Amino acid sequence: MENTHKNTYNSTNAIRLPMIDWNIRFFGAHMQTVSKEWSVSKESHRAFEILVVLEGKQETIIENESI
């Protein structure tokens, strides 16, 4: 997007996203240690997921894109 004025943008090609309530509400949590070969089957839900890796690395695949 082209910046036409400080803090405003030309929005002719912008896709508007829904408003989001930025309050964080934890409704479930768990902590686990897994082996190198561990994986989980495909899942979906209507929530943001916060993943914290304390040691090692994690590969997450969202809509066929590896993150």
- For 53, the domain range is 24-67
Answer whether residue 6 is part of any domain. Answer: no
Q: What is the pLDDT of residue 21?
A: 76
Q: What is the pLDDT of residue 44?
A: 84
Q: How many domains, in total, are found in the chain?
A: 1
For the four alpha carbons of 33, 36, 37 and 40, in that order, the dihedral sign comes to: positive
Indicate the pTM of the whole model: 0.46
The gap between the terminal CA atoms of the chain, to the nearest Å, is: 25
Q: What is the pLDDT of residue 66?
A: 92
Answer whether residue 33 is part of any domain. Answer: yes
Q: What is the pLDDT of residue 65?
A: 92
Q: What is the pLDDT of residue 42?
A: 87
> Cα dist. 43→2, 20, 27, 49, 55 in Å?
37, 22, 17, 11, 24
> Cα dist. 3→9, 12, 41, 57, 62 in Å?
5, 12, 42, 37, 30
Q: What is the pLDDT of residue 30?
A: 85
Along the chain (67 residues), what's the average pLDDT of each consecutive run of 10 residues? 54 79 78 90 82 90 88
